[in-house]
Amino acid sequence: MRAAIRIAARELIEGWRDRTTVVLPGFPADGVARAAALLAVHAVYLLIFALLAVGVSGWVQSSPASLAVLLGLWLVASVVAPRLAVLAADILRPVPSSIAFLQSYEAAIGHKYVDDNSFTAFNETFEGVQQRLMDEYGVKSPAELPVTAISHGRVPPSSASSRGSEPTTR
Using alpha carbons only, how large is the chain's radius of gyration in Å?
32
3-state helix, strand, coil in the chain (%, to 5): 70, 5, 30
Tally of structural domains, the chain: 3
Q: Are residue 29 and residue 75 in the same domain, yes or no?
A: no
**Residue 122 sits in the same domain as residue 75:** no
In this prediction, residue 154 carries a pLDDT of: 40
Nearest to 59 by CA among 73, 38, 47, 39: 73
In the prediction, which pLDDT does 105 show? 80
Which residue range is the domain that position 88 belongs to? 60-95
What pLDDT score does 155 carry?
40
pLDDT at residue 25, as a whole number: 59
- pLDDT, residue 147, reads 76
Measure Cα distances from 134 to 64, 83, 87, 129 in Å.
76, 55, 55, 9
pLDDT at 74: 92
Task: Answer whether 36's CB lies under 8 Å from 27's CB.
Answer: no
The reply to whether 143 and 156 lie within a common domain is yes
Q: Are residues 76 and 140 in the same domain?
A: no
Q: What is the pLDDT along the chain (170 residues), one digit of tens a residue?
A: 667 677 766 766 665 555 555 555 555 666 777 888 889 999 999 999 999 999 999 999 899 999 999 999 999 999 999 999 999 999 999 988 888 887 888 788 776 666 655 555 566 677 778 888 888 889 988 888 887 666 544 444 444 444 444 444 44
> What confidence score (pLDDT) does residue 107 get?
82
Q: What is the pLDDT of residue 157?
A: 45
Angle between helices 29-59 and 2-17 (to 10 degrees): 100
Residues 106 and 154 placed together within one structural domain of the fold: yes
**Same-domain check for residues 46 and 104:** no
Q: Domain check: are 103 and 169 in the same one?
A: yes
